[in-house]
Structure 1
């Protein structure tokens, strides 16, 4: 029988404190969360010290699964996987549509400077440059909390004339860069982001509407996702999950719902196998999971490494694009009824 206790925090210090409280005062044996890469490290370390199981469903900090903590697990892809997928999309989908080979693409990297932004960006840089020979023109990091003007970066990018902008944004910085690029007529052929922040947040569409047409964000599946592409068991649980969220919220599942839903369903499967929250049996059950892509919510699969990290190749992700105020699934095309538009982006006033 599961009994839920809930905590809510906003910074790493509070995350560690609340994890300790839940374990020592509420008697919690399994902690799950946290949605944010700024919180997961502190919360999971507190759980490890207390001997509780920590089950992360969202944070993608690349350092998370490299600490050799036997009671810490993550169901979501890590930041290096985000970078890998972004470059895969650019090489396999964008390059042919732009009439170029991957090594002919001129690319720039722009990112907020958190561990998340740096992890995704450096992974993408390494693969783009070393494996595919893309022409790296510039790398720019900025402080999210204090940046209120991208003009110097935009002027630099105008001189460089890139084909693709890789931009990992955190929040309103995505709106600001896009808006100032339009105002200053910075032209590029595509912009690619990863994660549920910045261009992956509903706030981008609310702020810009159709003026935000074009950028891509690597996320969980959105409208246009083909359930028929999943395995039968994945199709069933995805339908049930969507219906449950729709009844509760009145909307299609958002990214937070999808991450938590997929992660907690995997937790259920582990507990069913283990029959206990005792660490040795629980860990054996985790490492025994071997589910192919298409078996779970979001079309995910599962195969955990001894580090506690679910295999990046089993955590299928999707490229969504802003089209008329909505993020729609456009890639991989076998998973989608929608298709990418505005490749290349073209003049700002012609993206309708």
Structure 2
């Protein structure tokens, strides 16, 4: 009888261990959706530090998309749970991506606005077999590495450069009464992968069009003095200035240009600082007339961007003010694409999600950004996202080119 009790006790212990393991597996399955009522998705953005303004604005778009999806019943009945990660620089991006994947057991991540942060975080995702969806960073090298676990929904920097050169060639030369080959074009850019990629690609495309680049000035986005850069630009006497910077350096460039008497007929900003209402608030009337190439903004042809008005209302209701830039809209649209593809697969399995994404197609003019979706099978880059040209007019950023998305014609007064 004693032996029977010992055997019975041993069997009970074994059963408890097995049940505990099963329960543990089920508890940890929120990241892939099996046996759980949630899908856990990492959200990696710079939420503190120098990049926090647009990092937070980008995260807000993801947050709004998730709330909308969850309030409508979730993805095939399962709610999305965001696991946040604050990555203020590339080093933090690596450590936070590692934490999400190896400690939080997250199998797919969205992010990240900054190209340097994205470059670092996607490398970690690739090594660890997690799928990374880039919704806002633009440097081409994020997808040029042809990683199997990286998909980008927003347009890359090279697409911005195409708009720069095409606008100069097709519109600016005529408006300034010059032949394309006689135009003097300068480039000024912050020196991370974001600014460098746009600058280098613009120089390459300019060469093909016989457009004269008279000077290229790079600088650190953390600088507090651009006077030497501005004086070099002033000496070069450009007709057009292509500028790539974040908020603080964009503001500094505008103010010091005014102080040092540098005035250029056409300034083409490229996303970043020139797109934000904070830029307008900081420089006032100096913003008026500046062009900016970027993700879709809010004064745009609504026939091209169905769902944008609903997004703006949801944003104002949650955050108490208008969206600060189109980055929130781009991330909102991108997060909805991610959720749609997860719904098709029914679980978060990186390989299955990528396979489904490569078959997933959306026509242009059917989303809140106006973008379509068609991922390149080699790079993972969406080929149907495009930046548009906007202009600051009386304190508002108005879409002015190309004509089918514009609400006003570009002004050169």
TM-score by length of 1: 0.88
Matched, 1:303 2:381: no
Matched, 1:212 2:282: no
Structure 1: runs of 5 or more not aligned: 345-352
Residue aligning to 1:172: 248
Please give the secondary structure, in 2, of the residue aligned with 1:329: strand
Equivalence map 1:32-181=2 (5 Å):
32-130=110-208, 132-150=209-227, 152-181=228-257
Shift of 1:238: 2.9
Cα distance in 1, alignment partners of residues 256 and 81 from structure 2 = 49
Cα distance in 1, alignment partners of residues 258 and 403 from structure 2 = 29
Cα distance in 1, alignment partners of residues 245 and 359 from structure 2 = 36
Residue aligning to 1:325: 395
Equivalence map 1:256-335=2 (5 Å):
256-306=327-377, 307-311=379-383, 314-335=384-405
Please give the secondary structure, in 2, of the residue aligned with 1:111: strand
Cα distance in 2, alignment partners of residues 245 and 173 from structure 1 = 27
Whether the 8 Å contact between 1:208 and 1:325 is mirrored in structure 2 is: no
Shift of 1:147: 4.9
Shift of 1:3: 2.3
**Larger deviation, residues 180-189 vs 64-73:** 180-189
Cα distance in 2, alignment partners of residues 57 and 146 from structure 1 = 27
When residues 4 and 174 of structure 1 are mapped into structure 2, their CA distance, relative to the original with a 3 A threshold, is: closer
**Larger deviation, residues 239-248 vs 30-39:** 239-248
Please give the secondary structure, in 1, of the residue aligned with 2:213: strand
Cα distance in 2, alignment partners of residues 264 and 29 from structure 1 = 15
Matched, 1:225 2:300: yes
- The one-character-per-residue Cα deviations of 1:147-187 (angstroms, maximum 9, x if unpaired) are 5132x333333333211011112232222222222223223
Matched, 1:249 2:324: no
Whether the 8 Å contact between 2:398 and 2:407 is mirrored in structure 1 is: no
Q: 2:308 aligns with which of 212, 233, 238?
A: 238
Please give the secondary structure, in 1, of the residue aligned with 2:329: helix
Whether the 8 Å contact between 1:86 and 1:193 is mirrored in structure 2 is: no
Whether the 8 Å contact between 1:318 and 1:329 is mirrored in structure 2 is: yes
- The one-character-per-residue Cα deviations of 1:61-104 (angstroms, maximum 9, x if unpaired) are 21111223211111111111111122222222322222233333
Based on CA coordinates, which of the two structures has the bigger radius of gyration? 2
Cα distance in 2, alignment partners of residues 112 and 5 from structure 1 = 31
Cα distance in 1, alignment partners of residues 151 and 334 from structure 2 = 10
Cα distance in 2, alignment partners of residues 176 and 323 from structure 1 = 20
Please give the secondary structure, in 2, of the residue aligned with 1:42: helix
Cα distance in 1, alignment partners of residues 409 and 269 from structure 2 = 18
Cα distance in 2, alignment partners of residues 85 and 147 from structure 1 = 30
CA RMSD in angstroms comes to 1.9
Cα distance in 2, alignment partners of residues 340 and 250 from structure 1 = 31
When residues 289 and 96 of structure 1 are mapped into structure 2, their CA distance, relative to the original with a 3 A threshold, is: farther
Residue aligning to 1:347: none
Shift of 1:240: 3.1
Residue aligning to 2:63: none
Q: 1:202 aligns with which of 252, 277, 282?
A: 277
TM-score by length of 2: 0.76
When residues 215 and 28 of structure 1 are mapped into structure 2, their CA distance, relative to the original with a 3 A threshold, is: same
**Larger deviation, residues 69-78 vs 92-101:** 92-101
